[in-house]
Structure 1
Amino acid sequence: MVTPKFTPATPSFHAELKRRINNYFEEKGKSTTGNMTLYTKAIILLVAFVLVYVHLVFFTPPTWVAILECLVMGGIVAGIGFNVMHDGAHGSFSKYKWVNQLAAFSLNILGGSSFMWNVKHNVIHHAYTNVDGMDDDIDIQPWMRMSSTQPKYKMHKYQHLYFWLLYSLLYILWIFILDYNKYFRSKIGTVPLKKMSFADHVTFWAFKVFNLALYVALPVYVLGFIPWLVGFLVFATFAGLLISIVFQLAHTVEHTAFPVPDVNTGRLEDEWAVHQLKTTANFATDNKLVSWLVGGLNFQIEHHLFPKISHVHYPEISKIIRKACEEYNIPYIVYPKTRYAIVSHVTFLKQMGRA
């Protein structure tokens, strides 16, 4: 697929948004990166991960307690990804580059590859959101149909029912299959992977071996195969479900668009910022607990427009962005509650499976 281009706009809505957001931070005298609230949350999550892991593996709690702790660990892993890794990968966790790199590097500890994530998420997904053939996040073929431009199979009629199982498998597939697939194909979807340095190759393989030791070999050695298998499946499927549902609610709901480049020019209809607004949705933005747990990813519009700004600032800048959208008559999609967004996602899957 030829890389699509965005249509330039005069005046630029993106430029106007940047002006207003820059004015906000100048007037408030705030840094656009994280603050002590974020750093405290990061410490809580990281310490909790270590404590729960050590207790599960080395202190062998009763079965029902162990299962509950596996669920908790799945939630903690997702939480670290949402709150620490995600901001770090975008360079918004801290004003110090090395701190951002360290935060982003947490993904390697959690089982993934920070190199693959950077290309897949930062480079491709954030540029070409919901563009079939470019955005790897909507490429779950042949198992699911996430866009009207994708082929439809009979099984898609039931995708609004079986998606729970597929989403639950995301984390397991991610750490055991998908990263390797990208590595050996040197592609993410149809987009070539950027050249890996020698250090990138070493890091990739060193942490894949480390993860097998941390999540498989050591627990099996200490606990035995069956206890490990049950615990790992509980932990990994819960983490996968949380990660999948949070990211899917941001883009694959009833009211988001799936733009198609012009056949002749290869151009998308809108400028980049308007494209992001049409392809992205917020949910439960008044729920402080949800915002805390998902690292502000319920403010996905703000994140896509300003990925270099930490999620701790999203509630405030969302007011500025929403007002600008009203003035310029540009859609600003938001679901007031998480359950409304989930219902809309299920409805969307049903439409894609039957259209």
Structure 2
Amino acid sequence: MQTLAKPCLDPKRSQMLWQSMLGQVSERELDSEATTTLLWKIPVLTVLFAGALGSAWHASSLLLVGLACLALAFILAQFAFLGHDAGHGTLSRKRGLNAAVGHFCMTVMTGLAFTEWYSRHKTHHQYCQHEPKDPDMDVDLVVSLTADSRQRKNTLGRFLTRCQGVSIWFLSLLFAHSQRHLSQWGVLREPRKFVPDVMVLMIHFALWWGVPLLAFDISLGRVLLVYTLPLFILGPYLAAIFWVNHVGMPLIANLDDFSFLEHQAVTSRTVVNPKSMDWFFGGLNFQIEHHLYPQIPSFRLRQVQAIVRPALQKEGVPYRGVSFWEAVRSIAAHFRLIAKG
């Protein structure tokens, strides 16, 4: 059964270790703003996005539509990675610039409401793997991440959970859609709280629906297909990146028992892969490092790992660094274990 994490470091020692690593990070300027490095990607991605979207709208065959939507899925993922970095303030010390980039990359391009998303994501970082408060563990019906979640479900929910060892891989097709709709529904529930999201979402819908229908006279069916198909492709891609980060990792029963360092380290899993594949994961394969120092741009996390991993291992703090396929096998085994009850 899924284990409960137990602290192994004195809180003062833990804080000293975190500060020591941060000192090395700062000495190497890994926590400096990355405005120039990241912002150049936006015009490049925008040109690619425009080309792929236009091709999908005007393609003469379904095969060409499918290829254009495949390209769109990967482009939207890169926009989402930039939005994630902007949410953590890695682009600039200017909050307005981070917000503008986040809204453009996430809200306009993907339809994921940036402010609403980050309010939940920030809570996830604070309460990672603490089931009562971690929003990423709040799965209502179709799957269960823990035994307690399975027991709380109604009859239909428990039935669906019993099938999750197999169904989860098919459900990954809906993962990106669920994230988009969860975010938009959050904005609709509290529009006064998320006024910027409301305004920018209008631009999103104008781009994806108004432009093709009114300016280019694209058929409604084609517009609907181009709006939904990239996210069906994007779903398994994002699932492959995000599910391996925390699913099956130890749970936190009492947050007061843990220092910040141990809490973040023992509840996260880093995926070790060739440097050439970091772009595929958006740098977020270094999840331990990201949770310890979320203010660091994701493309620098490989350098942060060289500081964090040996320091944690020296102090006896568990460091879960595995290959991608080992991570996938681990979460698959976890889903089957919870399904059995």
State the TM-score, normalized to the length of structure 1. 0.82
**Match status 1:247 vs 2:242:** yes
Match of 2:98 in 1: 100
Q: 1:179 aligns with which of 160, 183, 191?
A: 183
**Match status 1:340 vs 2:326:** yes
**1:247-304 superposed Cα distances (whole Å, 9 cap, x missing partner):** 1110003xx111223xxxxx44321220111110011x33223211222100011100
Alignment of 1:97-136 (within 5 A): 97-105=95-103, 106-109=105-108, 110-122=110-122, 124-136=123-135
**More displaced 10-residue stretch of structure 1: 107-116 or 149-158:** 149-158
Whether contact under 8 Å (1:52, 1:73) holds in the other structure is: yes
**Match status 1:325 vs 2:318:** no
Give the letter aligned to residue 302 of structure 1: E
Gaps spanning 5+ residues in structure 1: where? 1-5, 187-192, 262-266
Whether contact under 8 Å (2:56, 2:64) holds in the other structure is: no
Distance 2:38 2:314 in 1: 32
Q: 1:232 aligns with which of 222, 227, 230?
A: 227
Q: 2:289 aligns with which of 291, 299, 302?
A: 302
Give the letter aligned to residue 269 of structure 1: D
Distance 1:307 1:268 in 2: 21
| Identity over aligned pairs, percent | 20
Give the letter aligned to residue 340 of structure 1: E
Distance 1:38 1:257 in 2: 34
**1:16-66 superposed Cα distances (whole Å, 9 cap, x missing partner):** 22322323432x355533265534444433332222113322x43432122
Alignment of 1:26-105 (within 5 A): 26=27, 28-29=28-29, 32-34=32-34, 36-57=36-57, 59-82=58-81, 84-105=82-103
Match of 1:272 in 2: 260
Whether contact under 8 Å (2:143, 2:161) holds in the other structure is: yes
Give the letter aligned to residue 155 of structure 1: L
Could you say if the C-alpha distance between residues 72 and 151 of structure 1 is closer, same or farther in structure 2, counting changes exceeding 3 Å?
same
Match of 2:155 in 1: none
Instruction: Name the SS of the counterpart of 2:321 in structure 1.
Output: strand
Q: 2:202 aligns with which of 197, 209, 213?
A: 209
Aligned length: 325
Could you say if the C-alpha distance between residues 271 and 149 of structure 1 is closer, same or farther in structure 2, counting changes exceeding 3 Å?
farther
How big is the shift at 1:208? Answer: 2.8
Match of 2:150 in 1: 151
Distance 2:256 2:316 in 1: 19
Distance 2:35 2:292 in 1: 20
Distance 1:170 1:95 in 2: 32
**More displaced 10-residue stretch of structure 1: 231-240 or 86-95:** 231-240
State the TM-score, normalized to the length of structure 2. 0.86
Could you say if the C-alpha distance between residues 127 and 281 of structure 1 is closer, same or farther in structure 2, counting changes exceeding 3 Å?
same
Distance 1:183 1:236 in 2: 20
Give the letter aligned to residue 258 of structure 1: L
Distance 1:29 1:272 in 2: 22
Gaps spanning 5+ residues in structure 2: where? 1-5, 152-157
Q: 2:170 aligns with which of 156, 165, 168?
A: 165
**1:116-149 superposed Cα distances (whole Å, 9 cap, x missing partner):** 1121002x10000111121111212221101222
Give the letter aligned to residue 125 of structure 2: H
Distance 1:280 1:30 in 2: 21
Structure (1/2) with the larger helix percentage: 2
Distance 1:143 1:72 in 2: 29
Instruction: Name the SS of the counterpart of 1:38 in structure 2.
Output: helix
Instruction: Name the SS of the counterpart of 2:257 in structure 1.
Output: coil
Could you say if the C-alpha distance between residues 17 and 76 of structure 1 is closer, same or farther in structure 2, counting changes exceeding 3 Å?
same
